[in-house]
Structure 1
Amino acid sequence: MSILNEIVTNRKIQVAEQKELYPTKLLERSIYFNSQPLSLKKYILRPDLSGVIAEFKRKSPSRGIINEFAKPDEVCLLYMQAGASALSVLTESMFFGGSAMDLTIARKFNFCPILRKDFIVDEYQVIEAKSIGADAILLITEILPKKQLSNFSSLAKSLGMQVLFEIHERQSISKLPADAEIIGINSRNLKTFNVSVDHMELLVQLIPKHVVKIAESGIDSPESLLTLKTMGFQGFLIGERFMREPNPGKACEKFISKVKELSSSKTSSGLHD
């Protein structure tokens, strides 16, 4: 069994247990359930921000423990102050060391959009995302059939949330709903977990121009972000690059400052050509 299949199988078991402990009617009593979510799309496109979606995660199947004792309130607040356009919070526990509580804690201390990063396999998780304070959810095309992608997306939108559709392979594009507004291209192979930026460049050319495009995985330097920007990406999901540092928030601040510096110097040199 691949790591992906193992994660999905485990997630289905966990969701079944969650449904018994916290029924949908209980989730709907959350203080966040009637709140108006922020627009991930608008924040990604804001010219005064960086386009960076700064991610909070403690570990991953490919890297093991990254930052086991990081606190979501401290890290995520510093991410926002550093100029991140949005936050991504891992809520899968077994393989990524996250929890729904991590996102709720981040929500209390932040005023920018928060993406629930998880392996969503049941509409219950969409409703749960709203109840814990998420503004957007991730739907991974490789683990969901076309009908579920459409149904989960429609449910999220009815609750005011936006959807980031993640694709890994060319054939997944045909599974996307016609009204998809944000598409993330993950350069990480789900079977080998290897990263290929060339693969990302190939896929981005197949995405409609009006769609907001997010680059995921393999962004290890400000220079690599700017390269991806020239390919047509507008958002950049970065987690491990920050989380492996003793102070992830400070690392994010330095990264974004360098991006702005390089962008300014590039603009200046262009004006003088």
Structure 2
Amino acid sequence: MTILDKIIAFKKKEITKIKAEVSVKKLVESPSFKRQPISLKQSLIDPYSTGIIAEFKRQSPSKGIINDKATVTEVTNGYLTANVAAQSVLTDTSFFGGTMADLMEARSVNQIKPILRKDFVVDGFQIVEAKAIGADAILLIATCLTPKELKNYGQLATDLGLEVLYEIHTQEDLDKISDLDGKIIGINNRNLKTFKVDLENSLALANQIPSNAVKVSESGISDPRIIMGLKEYGFQGFLIGENFMKTEDPGEACQEFIEQIR
């Protein structure tokens, strides 16, 4: 059983428990449910965009604790000062040490940039939940979902006014997504089954994605020069977490990184 298998099995049990305690009606009645989401896509394709989706991440299964000192408010303010294109917040507790409260705190600080809820979506309930806690976009990981689930969850997100970052790692993952036109496609350089990182993965799959889709490279980006290379392959988004979070001041690290890609 891979780490990913364990995460998904655990997540399904976790969601079943939460659904028994929290009704969809209660989520729909939350104040954040009525807010107009900020477009992740527009933020990435804006000609003046930095393209950086900066992540708040305390820990990971492969690295253990990355940063358990920095607060959500400090990091969010730092990312905003650095002029990120968007913010990503991990809300998985058991494996990544995140919470939904983290995203809600980030949202209270950040009213101007889109926030991606980074989690393992295995149930439509989580998409309604994402809207209720103030997210603008969700992550759908093709490796974990069937073509039908990807389509249905994507449609539900759209119906709720949320955008979707469809994450792939292989050609097989990409083939599961129907109609790539206009979608935001994230190529994860990290193999979720082994957690090994290979930046060549983004380059290998880039040509399989139509030019009218928004391409995002995820994981393993630690050098500003990598951004330049990825841009040549048509990438407009770059999801970076660990590289900033492993420092004492993630916001400052992000600002220094962005200054080098200007």
**CA distances 1:127-184 after superposition (whole Å, capped 9, x unpaired):** 0000000000000000000101011010000110000000001111111131551000
Secondary structure of the corresponding residue to residue 205 of structure 2? helix
Give the superposed CA RMSD: 0.9
1:40-97 deviation per Cα after TM superposition (whole angstroms, max 9, x unaligned): 0000112222000000010001111000132111101210121100000000001100
Indicate the residue corresponding to 1:83 in structure 2.
83
CA distance in 2, matches of 1:21, 1:73: 29
Partner of 2:204: 202
- Please tell me whether the aligned partners of residues 43 and 86 of structure 2 are also in contact (alpha carbons under 8 angstroms): yes
Match of 2:131 in 1: 130
Q: Which residue of 2 aligns with 1:234?
A: 236
With normalisation by structure 2, the TM-score equals: 0.97
Which consecutive residues of structure 2, in runs of 5 or more, have no partner in the other structure? none
Q: TM-score, normalised by structure 1?
A: 0.93
Verify the 8 A CA contact 2:77 2:109 in the aligned structure 1: yes
Tell me the percent identity. Answer: 49
Q: Aligned residue pairs: how many?
A: 260
Structure 1 distance, partners of 2:211, 2:49, is 21
Matched, 1:107 2:107: yes
Alignment of 1:219-258 (within 5 A): 219-258=221-260
What is the 5 A alignment of 1:124-273? 124-178=125-179, 181-260=183-262
Query: Take 2:104 and 2:32, find their aligned partners in 1: how far apart are those partners?
Result: 9
Contact 1:187 1:195 (8 Å CA) reproduced: yes
Once the two structures are overlaid, the 10-residue window that deviates more, 27-36 or 135-144, is 27-36
Please state if 1:58 is matched with 2:58: yes
Residues 24 and 125 of structure 2 are in contact (CA less than 8 Å); yes or no, is this contact kept in structure 1? yes
Counterpart residue identity of residue 160, structure 2: L
SS at match of 1:32: helix
Whether contact under 8 Å (2:182, 2:214) holds in the other structure is no
State the structure with more CA Rg. 1
SS at match of 1:96: coil
Q: Which letter maps to 1:240?
A: E
| C-alpha separation in 1, matches of 2:192 and 2:36 | 34
